[in-house]
Amino acid sequence: MDTKTLVRISAAIEAVTGFAFILSPSLIVRLLLGGDLGAVGIVVGRVCGFGLLSLAIACWPGRGDASQQATRALFTYNLLASLYLAYLRFGGGFVSYILLLACGLHALLTILMLSSLRAKFRSV
């Protein structure tokens, strides 16, 4: 898979997730973690949604290839997200299957982004 397609897929996933957090943070948290949010959690969830949507917009590739900066940003995000979601699933006591799927998706995107970054580094 070429870098531009990979960055587009990752950015699209984050945009959809961002919109979901903006529209209904309680539902997303209930699906991912099996818990409920209070009023403060809803506010924080929506702000996180704004951040995910902004990340997606900032990383969306233009007419040329995806920038190395966007690829690094999405790699970093996916790496940290996969590690934290894995911790929540295996060490934090959360047992949602959707959480496991989200962790796996972020881990897969991390590996693909790393491969893309390594290939770009070798070609320089």
- Cα–Cα dist 100/41, whole Å: 22
The single-letter DSSP state of residue 36 is -
- Cα–Cα dist 90/37, whole Å: 21
Q: Provide the residue-wise pLDDT of the chain in tens; the chain has 124 residues.
A: 788 889 999 999 999 999 999 999 999 999 998 888 999 999 999 999 999 999 999 998 887 777 888 889 999 999 999 999 999 999 988 888 899 999 999 999 999 999 888 876 676 5
Q: Closest Cα to residue 59, out of 78, 82, 84, 85? A: 78
pTM of the model: 0.85
Instruction: Evaluate whether 33 touches 99 at the Cβ level (below 8 Å).
Output: yes
- Cα–Cα dist 87/84, whole Å: 5
